[in-house]
Chain A
Amino acid sequence: MNFSARSKLGETDSGSVVGQAIAHDSARGHVSGKALYIDDLPEPAVTFHVAPIMATSARGRLLSLDVEEVRASEGVVAVLMAGDVPGCNDCSPVDFDVDPIFASETISFHGQVVGAVIATSHLLARQAARRALIDIASEVPLVEAAAALAADARLMPDYAFQRGDVTAGFAAAAHRLNGRIAIGGQEHFYLEGQAALAIPGEGGDMLVHSSTQHPSEVQHIVARALGVASHAVQCEVRRMGGGFGGKESQASQWAAIAAIAARHMGAACKLRLDRDDDMMLTGKRHDCLVDYEVGFDGEGRIGVLASHFAMRCGYSADLSLGVCDRTLFHADNAYYLPACDLVSARLRTNTVSNTAFRGFGGPQGMVAVERVIDAIAWHLGCDPLDIRKRNLYGVMGLTTPYGMDIDDNILPELVEALERSSDYRQRRSAISAYNTASPVLKRGLALTPVKFGISFTLIHLNQAGALVHIYADGSVALNHGGTEMGQGLYIKVAQVVADEFALPLEAIRITATTTAKVPNTGPTAASAGSDLNAMAAREAARTIKARLVDFCSERYQVPAPDIRFVDGQVVIGTERLSFGDVVREAVRARISLSSTGFYRTPDIHWDRAAKSGRPFYYFAYGAACSEVEIDTTTGEMQVRRIDILHDVGASLNPAIDIGQIEGGFVQGMGWLTTEELVFDEAGRLRTHAPSTYKIPVASDVPEDFRVALWQSPNRRETIYRSKAVGEPPLMLAISVWSAIADAIHAVAPGEQVGLHAPATPEAILAAIKAIRHPGGERP
């Protein structure tokens, strides 16, 4: 690994913890039940519990909200409605739309919060909330994307990337294919539901413990809702029990309600959503309908691709602008498109406002183009892997549809390496032989690549701050704006800081993220947590280190280059002092041992209107090969083997990174197989609990699961040349979906497979029936 970018001030050259497979900093707390989540925090002696009152219709005018019975219910102390919001009744993350904290006139989705009950216990609050009499003049809701598209219900203008002469491209193409894919949404199913505990202080202060990926935004929205300045509100989050994007913007409402309640009562108030309520009230991954048309040559090389993404955004904007943009940024996935017309329509529906979810729109774009590749292969009778390889960036071209030149491409080598290590060709022929002999069960195989752009496309979010203190005893307190949701950000940043001071990891105390220590942070999202925060923390550490070097240089009359931090000691010329002794001396000499650090990602810019710039600092790459088997009479499916080769640059912590890869893959596999969101015609979510919404369990993961890291440092100057890892592996699971389509294709080779996502047994059987009777009823 290339560590040449390491400290320039004062060499740190032994006992490195960066790059080591070190356990999550909270692992011992997790396994012993001592790691505290919001609902575990010791409650102030007087603490009330809050539950939402939820609308009973998906669309209409709120005529009246009768809470007489609610107030009379056991344990109830107060009921809040829109009129009780002291400040602004809006928890939207964007300034061009509104998400009411309490809906007051218009009901926009089923379950929308119209009020809140404050009671003496969580159970009593929930029981009382159901006694509200809500009169809504209901209208027929727009529920599905197709209906919204037909009704031209757009939440914001379409956006598109276009390149080349598309019309001429299609006219010149030797072959043309078109198709439609329905891609389902996804519930985050973080194990810890949304939760907030608000504790009022003196002078209008409000401390909010929130399970959020975006404490600065929670602080801002709570302050706005209370009608106070941001300095009166502190948002703290030690950890989340999972986030996955679902707590980027969607934690704010619950924090705001808890804070309004706390202000109202003058006492601590806690709101944690019951699982079913959480699933009904919070946004999900955008489901979409994709219509594509592709023109290609006899070798399967794409000449032109037109893809139209009809994305269900829900009732409000939330983060949909960025999400739907990213669908287009990844509608090419790993493939060069000489000419293209990639459009996304952002549809308004009477459903919960869809939001960030690991991949942030990218996965939908990538699923679509991987289907396009499969379709070409089926049409030409080729192995889909050959079509993939012919179209990869680096084989055909290197400029993306949004005009960015890819300068760190490793796709051809990486795909080649996985093809070999997964034994793809030999297994391909074995599977063909098996399928010929097996009338009922069919196997499928697919190897799909991933290229994922790293940076927020909203450029100002690419900044981070940190705060490092060294106390007089030599212990170090570390704080930064990134939040910990299980992804191992805290330990990675701590590893970096430990190495900076050449201290053992135990010397670094990781402290809870709070807006009181680091202000104006972006969300922990876009896979950028360690890229941004580790850089900021290292900057803070280096500032202090520079002061210590200067101090030692002056005191011991040793030139600064001869002062090094090694193994918990400071080597000053020929002398060695313990780090603690140097710190003690520095304190006595009145040297500041506290510093902030700040980082902004360099070299990125994006002009959305002009559609030009370099939105991504770099790309993360990977590929996966999956083998599946299906029962063609019922559509049941089993994954048999998975091989993954993924690029994390020079890993900061291989154990953490492999955890992200495996976990991301399995989450993506769930999205594309068993996880199905079902809304009824009235707009009610029917799959609002784990009994009906099925995320993967242990047995869905095949025993034969091989994960390897691509051994190569990031070509960009990221922290220790590592790469972001949070989101990209999720899209590796497209290989499972593609392998299922491959197995279905074996039923009638040469025909097109109309498999949608998720590939539930029912979806698989529908595709099988369609391929057996081409031209007949399509699903």
Chain B
Amino acid sequence: MSGMRNEIRFLHRGRAVACHLPHPDITLLDWLRVQQRLTGTKEGCNEGDCGACTVVLGRLEQGRLVRRAVNACITLLGQVDGAELITVEDLARGGTLHPVQSAMVTHHGSQCGFCTPGIVMSLLALTHDKPLPLTREAINERLAGNLCRCTGYRPIVDAAMELCSQSMHDQFTAATGDVIAALAALDDGVDVMAGDEAQFFAAPATLASATALASRVPTATLLAGASDVGLWVTKRLQPLRRIIWLGRIEDMRGIAADGDGLRMGACVRLGEAWAHLAAIDPDLGALMQRFASTQIRNSATIGGNIANGSPIGDLAPALIALGATIELQLGDIVRRLPLERFFVAYGRQDRAPGEILTAITIPRLSPDERFRCFKVSKRVDEDISAVMGAFHVTIANGRIAGARFAYGGMAGVPQRAAAAEQALTGLSLDDEQGLRAGADRLAQDFLPLSDMRASAAYRLDVAKALLLRALDEMAGRRGDSDRLIGRRDGPRRAEAPA
């Protein structure tokens, strides 16, 4: 370790910017709008749902420059350390609109215009990382984090389709080499400690530094993607005085896949994990497609999604069903535990103050294992589940030899359905009557809440319907063509009529 840095550094408009972060919890959006008076980036919801504040962050990933859309409202300024920051003001040059902007004008993609800068930035990221194959569905999915209340989206998607059917050469592609060099120069590998003991934003460069600091200041807020913690600042209005951001630690960002399983560092972002999870089972891929939004998946991490202890947390039920284990580290002490044991009760997890969730390991499915997971929400995209069900079944001689069913939205924590698992174990997959009776046992497993997302009765109905859907599919009684949303092979939606 060669010293320490007391400021964050990032690239903005071709220059390295240094900030001492007198307020460790200042958001990127407030820095832009209030401090820099760069008001092109808008605040629509201040909670990462509407996308009006979308900006693009460029980062080096394995030496490659990757530019991704993120929500500036719940990204803390400190997290921009080491990145290239692009905002809507940086697109037009000398009065000439960027092709993304021109396409939005040509297609009448703006009405009130308030969401437009965010949409332009999402389109910028999109055109630099085009979906393949290029379909409207793929565009829709990438734009799910941008709410527009005026247009009905058709012209925006038209603009995106046109942009993506061309190759994009702009000032950003032209500057790629320079940006890579500049970002590499910023990447000094030393710990960042902006502030003092009373108030700091720390961005340790190594796991050892992070665990040391977290042990020394166990009350510090551990920060990964800030898609949840950001709301503590913007909505709970809870000032965060001491923050340890884990996003720079390479050891927490690794992905290692082998025949036995997939091991991911806790700070692997959801977007990076997507393809690896889809390789375990296509339903996990379909789940990731509906998981929050592009911007959130570009920020939020696998570990953060678990560590925040959400009772819904779309990933947790799936990972519990798959038998995932996690690694936690307090100082030098590393321990492993099954994921399901991490969730103790609502709002309480098995994590000591200062202990850092560092990695998660997901076992692969063997040929005699089947997996299904389904999410039901009011809106298909960018919504929190009313019920999320994940079903992992081991089959021997046409019978259920082992069952791991886990649900989100059904209890105070993501939880297994022990009674239903027990009732179904040993049954033949063809014993429809028995399976249905077994599924009824879910009522013993769960006493769900009624809230703004769904009533208790609906949750129980759906929990059962999803379990039966999974079992019917595993038995071959239902297939992809009986699915409305989230197909296992190919596009998730029903084909247009012939």
Contact = CB atoms under 8 A, between A and B. Distances in A.
A197 to B, nearest CB: 13
B91 interface: yes
Interface residues of B, number: 92
Nearest to B145: A697
B137 A699 contact: yes
Nearest to B88: A33
Given A36-B39, A486-B113, 13 more contacts: A31-B109, A31-B120, A33-B39, A191-B115, A275-B46, A633-B468, A663-B149, A686-B452, A694-B383, A697-B381, A701-B157, A703-B136, A762-B454
Interface string A23-41: 1101111111111110110
Nearest to A703: B136
A47 to B, nearest CB: 11
Nearest to A686: B452
B465 A633 contact: yes
Interface of A: 21, 23-24, 26-37, 39-40, 42, 121-123, 126-127, 130, 188-193, 239-244, 274-276, 427, 430, 438, 440-441, 485-488, 629-631, 633-638, 640-641, 655-656, 658-659, 662-667, 674, 676, 678, 686-687, 689-692, 694-701, 703-705, 760-762, 765-766, 769
B215 interface: no
Interface stretch (B6-14, B348-356, B372-380, B397-405): B372-380
Interface in B435-457: 451-455
Interface in B472-490: 478, 482-485
Contacts of A127: 237, 239
Interface stretch (B57-65, B97-105, B172-180, B414-422): B97-105
7 contacts: A33-B89, A127-B237, A634-B465, A659-B151, A686-B452, A687-B452, A703-B136
A244 B150 CA distance: 9
Given A191-B42, A640-B494, A663 B111 contact: yes
Given A27-B104, A31-B105, A634 B462 contact: yes
A26 B113 CA distance: 8
B393 to A, nearest CB: 19
Contacts of A689: 45, 47, 49, 235
A302 B57 CA distance: 61
Nearest to A694: B379
B153 A34 contact: no
Contacts of B101: 28, 31-32
A459 B383 CA distance: 43
A29 B47 contact: no
A637 B378 CA distance: 9
A597 B377 CA distance: 52
B461 interface: yes
Given A697-B143, A761-B386, A241 B113 contact: yes
A427 B496 CA distance: 12
Nearest to B465: A633
B52 interface: yes
Given A440-B482, A636-B485, A765-B458, A240 B451 contact: no
B299 interface: no
Contacts of B146: 697-698
B112 interface: yes
A487 B113 CA distance: 10
A636, A674, A686, A699 interface centre (most CB from chain B within 10 Å): A699
Nearest to A34: B40
B466 interface: yes
B79 interface: no
Given A130-B237, A695-B147, A636 B44 contact: no
Contacts of B380: 636, 638, 699-700
A691 B384 contact: yes
A188 to B, nearest CB: 8
A670 to B, nearest CB: 9
A699 B469 contact: no
Contact of B379 (A243, A635, A656, A700): A700
Contacts of A243: 112
Contact of A695 (B30, B149, B465): B149
B461 A765 contact: yes
Contacts of A123: 30, 237
Contacts of B148: 191
Contact of A686 (B114, B383, B451): B451
Contact of B137 (A240, A637, A641, A703): A703
Nearest to A679: B452
B154 A274 contact: no
Nearest to B108: A655
Given A123-B30, A674-B378, A30 B45 contact: no
B147 A191 contact: yes
A123 B29 CA distance: 12
B218 interface: no
Contacts of A666: 151-153
Contacts of B45: 275, 689-690
Nearest to A699: B140
B329 interface: no
Contact of B149 (A40, A667, A676): A667
Given A191-B52, A244-B149, A275 B496 contact: no
A201 B304 CA distance: 51
A24 B108 contact: yes
Contact of B496 (A23, A699, A703): A703
A636 B376 contact: yes
Given A31-B101, A634-B376, A666-B153, A23 B114 contact: no
A641 B498 CA distance: 13
Contacts of B92: 32
A485 B140 contact: no
B161 to A, nearest CB: 10
Contact of A698 (B89, B110, B113, B140): B140
B105 A28 contact: yes
Nearest to B117: A33
Given A27-B108, A662-B151, A33 B386 contact: no
B156 interface: yes
A31 B97 contact: yes
Given A655-B108, A699-B137, A701-B152, A39 B39 contact: yes
A123 B73 CA distance: 13
Contacts of A692: 384, 452-453
A697 B104 CA distance: 17
B379 A697 contact: yes
Interface in B26-71: 30, 33-34, 37, 39-47, 49-50, 52
Contacts of A126: 237
Given A32-B88, A242-B150, A697-B147, A690 B50 contact: yes
A191 B44 contact: yes
B116 A31 contact: yes
B87 interface: yes
Contacts of B466: 634
A636 B144 CA distance: 18
B189 interface: no
Contacts of A769: 461
Contacts of A192: 42, 44, 112, 114
A42 B37 CA distance: 8
B153 A698 contact: yes
Nearest to B116: A30
Contacts of B115: 191, 241
B42 A37 contact: yes
B49 A690 contact: yes
Nearest to B496: A704
Contact of B484 (A32, A121, A636): A636
B147 A690 contact: yes
Contact of A762 (B40, B113, B455): B455
B187 interface: no
Nearest to B114: A241
B461 A32 contact: no
Contacts of B144: 697-699
B485 to A, nearest CB: 6
B100 to A, nearest CB: 8
